[in-house]
Amino acid sequence: MLSNTMNFEVATALLPPVTAVLLFLYFSYKRNQFHDSLPNEPSAHLFPHAEEHQEPKRDLFYDYYCWVSRASLFPLSMRILLIGFSESLYNILYYRWQRRSKPEDCIRALAAQHLERRQAEGKIKRPFAIVTGGNAGIGYEIARALLFADYHVILACRSQRLAQSAITRLQATTGSDKVEYMNLDLSLFANVREFAGRVAERLKAGGEIDVLIHNAGIMNLPFGLTADGFDTQLQVNALAPHLLTQLLLPHLARSAHILFTTSAVIYATNHIDLSMFTDRARHSGLGNYAAGKACTMVLTREWNRRLTYHPGAVHTNLFNNTPPFHLSLFSSLLTLVLLSPPEGAITALKLVLAELDTEHRGGKYWFNELPRRTPSVSMGAGIRPEEVKQDIVGEWLWREAGRMCGLKEEE
């Protein structure tokens, strides 16, 4: 009996990666068919990792994600795993092994080119940047690159000890002392307001925020509500960044870059039901994470000239709460198939530091340095996502998020 149970568990564990591999092979076959149908011109081919002006509508990887989002036969957790394994395959076959330059070389080049461009334009004022969760992982790499590009960087973190340790390392590796720590706890709206007030006080002498990167996030937590009464993942990943952006608007430069970090798991869910975030019986760590990231995506659509990006499947502390990835064996495996923090930081850094056309990057979802179309989502029971105007969904969630955050009309 025990043997049968173990066999069933093994089969269940193997189903997502096996299914992902089979689907990947199928879509690779369909991609080859698509190639054969195109005119025999180099510019007409869909390259595995094309240049930045590639149109998202020609990206068959997106078609696969859309298929997963509509595969209601699979439970939500299964769809999330399918997307995760697919990203790992993408990392191995395309993004990592076919890169022409090392991540560090790319980061240094972006910073140097940005600095040269600023100097050529006669911009002598040092730009100001805020990076939430900048003490580790992708946030640390973003902060490091911004220091190379001569930014003044605020690390907005919960832990002063970890932030000070990061500052010491940043100063040693970049030679810049233009980095400081400010306490920010996204699980407390009151603390978010205090942080915004400290930033405003900090800028009184003059200056504006040129870059605001919402990097901090949590994933796959057990059921729990914050002191404000909301699901912890929803508040930290979606509501608090929305509130912080609203509060900092008066201090943003007209050409400021604002990046919201989301995830490919937005393709695993196509419905937003806010009641699920306070229902213990319906709680799912990964499910709530996916729904929260979908909220981030919809809210970002409502921000004019704002950006949303997904750094790719990156090995960071986000996986600490997702068994079995906290085990040493699986941690080593993640190092092989997932991007490193420097690799994951490149998409955000290109959006901030590279000379890109604002019209073609604002309000889009960026994944592995390319813009991707975002899925449609619904907000009512029994309604198919494509039958709902996304503007209506956005306006509804904007109002609800403002109410939940306690935003006043004048804010």
CATH number at residue 293: 3.40.50.720
Q: Which pair of structure tokens corresponds to residue 31?
A: 């991609």
Residue 258, domain member (yes or no):
yes
Rounded-to-integer distance, Cα 93 and Cα 339, Å:
12
pLDDT reported for residue 153: 97
Residue 96, domain member (yes or no):
no
The string of pLDDT tens digits covering residues 326-380 is: 434 334 444 444 567 777 777 788 888 876 655 555 566 776 677 777 778 887 6
Most confident segment among 68-77, 126-135, 379-388 = 126-135
- Residue 398's CB is within 10 A of a number of other CB atoms, namely 17
Q: Which pair of structure tokens corresponds to residue 123?
A: 């911009």
Are the C-beta atoms of residues 290 and 80 closer than 8 Å to each other? Answer: yes
Percent of the chain, pLDDT > 90?
32
- Residue 229's CB is within 10 A of a number of other CB atoms, namely 9
pLDDT reported for residue 49: 35
Tell me which residue of 314, 263, 265 sits closest to 78, measured CA to CA.
265
Residue 305, domain member (yes or no):
yes
Instruction: Give yes or no: 94 in active site.
Output: no
- Residue 345, exposed/middle/buried by CB under 10 A (0-12, 13-18, 19+)? buried
- Given a cut of 60, whether residue 4 has pLDDT beyond it is no
DSSP string, 380-403: STT--GGGS-HHHHHHHHHHHHHH
Residue 86, domain member (yes or no):
no
Query: What's the chain's average pLDDT?
Result: 76
Rounded-to-integer distance, Cα 186 and Cα 192, Å:
6
Secondary structure (3-state) at 316? coil
What's the total number of domains in the chain? 1
pLDDT reported for residue 297: 87
Query: Residues 95, 289, 309, 365: which is the catalytic one?
Result: 289
Residue 8, domain member (yes or no):
no
Rounded to 5°, angle at Cα 316 from 315 and 322: 85
Residue 78, domain member (yes or no):
no
As beta bridge partners, residue 314 has: 339
Q: How many residues does the structure list for the chain?
A: 411
Angle between helices 2-37 and 76-90 (to 10 degrees): 60
What counts of helices (H) and strands (E) characterise the chain?
13, 8
Q: Which domain holds residue 131?
A: 103-405
Are the C-beta atoms of residues 56 and 370 closer than 8 Å to each other? Answer: yes
Residue 91, domain member (yes or no):
no
The string of pLDDT tens digits covering residues 112-149 is: 999 999 988 888 889 999 999 999 999 999 999 999 99
Summarize the confidence of residues 234-244 as an average pLDDT. 96
Q: Which residues contact 281 (CB under 8 A, 6 or more apart)?
A: none
Q: Which pair of structure tokens corresponds to residue 99?
A: 């890169």
Residue 36, domain member (yes or no):
no
| Upper half-sphere CA count for residue 17 (Cβ side, 13 Å) | 7
Distances, alpha carbon 375 to alpha carbons 69, 82, 309, in Å: 8, 16, 14
